[in-house]
Amino acid sequence: MSLHELSLRELGDGLRAKKFSSRELTGHYLGRIGQHDKALNSYITVTADRALAQADAADKVLAAGAGGALTGIPLAQKDIFCTSGVKTSCGSKMLDKFIAPYDATIVQKLDAAGMVMLGKANMDEFAMGSSNETSYYGPVKNPWDLERVPGGSSGGSVAAVAAGLAPIATATDTGGSIRQPAALTNLTGIKPTYGRVSRYGMIAFASSLDQAGVVARSAEDAAVVLQAMSGFDPRDSTSVERPVDDYSSGLGASLKGLRIGLPKEYFAEGLDPGARACIEAAIKVFEGLGASVREVSLPSSPLSVPTYYVVAPAEASSNLARFDGVRYGHRAEGVHTLEELYKRSRGEGFGAEVQRRIMVGTYVLSHGYYDAYYLKAQKVRRLIYDDFRRAFGEVDLILGPTAQSVAFKLGDKTDDPVAMYLNDIYTIAANLAGIPAMSLPCGFHQDLPIGMQLMGNFFDEGRMLNAAHQYQQATDFHRRRPKAFA
């Protein structure tokens, strides 16, 4: 097997057994990026020199018989995470020349774990998008079909991992930006509980919804990196002071007695029959593994998308007010007043989707509309949260589709923002409630991957990852790779 086909555990074993060095492994991945990324556009910045220096440092640690499970293993970082001394663009012209002056907490943590950063992954501008077509650096292509989108906003992260241009990647999820692209590219992606992973140094989109996680080739790979990223951080005011479970050691438990709920609203009209068939087959696999399945109801879930498109733009309009053309980021030339400086810098620096969301947010927060939109959305958010509270009184995990269908074609939805927003119909509720959720491969339709979603109760990542792992022991969908990138 080639190096890019090995799991993180196999890579770690190989490094410790001196079958290959981190420099060789890193070089292999950099070579593949050079060979394949023109077709995919999954990286905004490749940090080859930095990666090889990190690899050499990891090799020294390994030679001394030290280091942990991740020492010397490469990864891609979504370009939303600040990386000291390295361009951090967030997919935007606004930050095209922004060299971050500090590291995000998760970057520090993964560096400290000995991981090697290959580069910064492409993404929708400020993580606003479901197809990776809003990036200032151009769209990312889906490795399974280059005419199709990889999903978004973590489109670069998933394309890189699916095509074997990184063994694993970080990602973020505000309304589905880890799970939907993972589903569209045959990957396992997990968004943990809100507050589990530090948001320090992760460029803010909607602060009450944003959460970092990973996209990986298996639940086992995801567990080990999520473990290293998670934990309390005093620099994030909403970080939760609570020990992190040992996700990897929990991956052996039987699913006997596991209660899985199927929300009837998620299997209603709108779900593609091809996707439905895959998910129904997956439910049978879980039953075969000893889980019991019952229907549950999340009656307010049809209102998730409208709720989100008030709350998220409102928070975004406030967060993105910091981009003023003065302290960092794009600054317009030839302006004569301060107001003109703000307006032109922001008009030139932000793309159309970001501008739309800033304007929607500004509108719903403005005098006279606040109660009808923002306050109303916050109340419906409570109803959505209460639905999950009730459901998790009856079941341990909730299972449903991640996306309505397979990846769509580039350009299909770019002219219709509302059609684009409906891509996240199954994923948004978990962000509004704050619960952990993940997507994992469960079959193919028209030779394109289908993902299923698991949602868990607060801080139940371990149970969810084990359910996914047990499913992946019984199936091989997650092992399939796009042929063009063998």
Partner 1 sequence: MSLSPEQVKQVAHLARLSLPPEKVEPYARQLSNILDMVSQLSSASTDDVQPMAHPLEMVQRLRPDAVSEENRREAFQAIAPAVEDGVYLVPRVIE
Contacts (CB under 8 A) with partner 1, residues 377-406? 377-383, 385
Q: Which is nearer to partner 1, 145 or 353 (CB)?
A: 353
Which region, judged by CB under 8 A, interacts with partner 1, from 24-32, 179-187, 248-256, 298-306? 298-306
Q: Which is nearer to partner 1, 146 or 359 (CB)?
A: 359
Is 439 a known active-site residue? no
Nearest-angstrom CA–CA distance, 108 and 97:
22
- 163, 279, 360, 403: which one binds partner 1 (CB under 8 A): 360
Buried/exposed 290-319: b ≥16 CB within 10 Å, e otherwise: ebeeeebebebbebbbebbbbbbbbbbbbb
174 DSSP 8-state letter: S
* Cβ proximity of 220 and 190 under 8 Å: no
Residue 466: C-alpha distances to residues 32, 197, 248, 298 (Å):
31, 19, 8, 24
Q: Which is nearer to partner 1, 98 or 444 (CB)?
A: 98
Residues 434-453 that bind partner 1 (CB under 8 A): 434-435
Which region, judged by CB under 8 A, interacts with partner 1, from 66-74, 117-125, 156-164, 305-313? 305-313
Is 264 a known active-site residue? no
Minimum separation from the CB atom of position 176 to partner 1 (A): 16
Which region, judged by CB under 8 A, interacts with partner 1, from 33-41, 47-55, 365-373, 440-448? 365-373
Tokens of 82: 């600040």
Which of 153, 154, 300, 304 is labelled catalytic?
153
358 binds partner 1 (CB under 8 A): yes
Which of 42, 78, 92, 248 is labelled catalytic?
78
412 binds partner 1 (CB under 8 A): no
Nearest-angstrom CA–CA distance, 310 and 57:
47
Minimum separation from the CB atom of position 133 to partner 1 (A): 15
Minimum separation from the CB atom of position 267 to partner 1 (A): 20
Query: To 5 degrees, how large is the angle CA 425–CA 314–CA 100?
Result: 95
Nearest-angstrom CA–CA distance, 424 and 304:
9
Nearest-angstrom CA–CA distance, 302 and 304:
6
* Cβ proximity of 475 and 285 under 8 Å: yes
Which region, judged by CB under 8 A, interacts with partner 1, from 65-73, 98-106, 165-173, 436-444? 98-106
* Cβ proximity of 91 and 79 under 8 Å: yes
Tokens of 381: 């958010």
Residues 186-245 that bind partner 1 (CB under 8 A): 194-195, 208, 234, 237-238, 240
* Cβ proximity of 403 and 278 under 8 Å: no
- 421, 471, 477, 485: which one binds partner 1 (CB under 8 A): 421
Minimum separation from the CB atom of position 103 to partner 1 (A): 13
Tokens of 406: 């397979």
Q: Which is nearer to partner 1, 355 or 473 (CB)?
A: 355
Query: To 5 degrees, how large is the angle CA 150–CA 153–CA 157?
Result: 65
With contacts defined by CB under 8 A, how many residues of the chain interact with partner 1?
A: 73
Is 177 a known active-site residue? yes
- 267, 341, 473, 475: which one binds partner 1 (CB under 8 A): 341
Minimum separation from the CB atom of position 191 to partner 1 (A): 12
Q: Output Rg (C-alpha) for the chain, integer angstroms.
A: 21
Q: Which is nearer to partner 1, 289 or 383 (CB)?
A: 383
- 16, 93, 376, 481: which one binds partner 1 (CB under 8 A): 376
Minimum separation from the CB atom of position 41 to partner 1 (A): 26
245 DSSP 8-state letter: P
Nearest-angstrom CA–CA distance, 34 and 74:
15
Residue window 124-143: x/- pattern of binding to partner 1, with contact defined by CB under 8 A: --------------------
Residues 38-97 that bind partner 1 (CB under 8 A): none
Q: In which residue are the tokens 């990386």 written? A: 83
346 binds partner 1 (CB under 8 A): yes
197 DSSP 8-state letter: B
Phi-psi category of 115—alpha, beta or left, where left has phi over 0 and alpha has psi -120 to 50? beta
Q: Cis omega (within 30 of 0) on the bond before 154?
A: no
Which of 21, 131, 154, 177 is labelled catalytic?
177
Find the helix or strand (DSSP H, E) in which 15 lies: helix 8-16
- 14, 250, 274, 306: which one binds partner 1 (CB under 8 A): 306
Residue 226: C-alpha distances to residues 80, 97, 198 (Å):
17, 30, 12
Return the amino acid letter for 294: R
Nearest-angstrom CA–CA distance, 143 and 159:
6
Residues 319-338 that bind partner 1 (CB under 8 A): 321, 324-331, 335-338
Q: In which residue are the tokens 């948001």 written? A: 199
Which region, judged by CB under 8 A, interacts with partner 1, from 2-10, 68-76, 301-309, 472-480? 301-309
- 254, 347, 389, 394: which one binds partner 1 (CB under 8 A): 347
Residue window 459-478: x/- pattern of binding to partner 1, with contact defined by CB under 8 A: --------------------
Phi-psi category of 383—alpha, beta or left, where left has phi over 0 and alpha has psi -120 to 50? alpha
Q: Which residues are catalytic?
A: 78, 153, 177
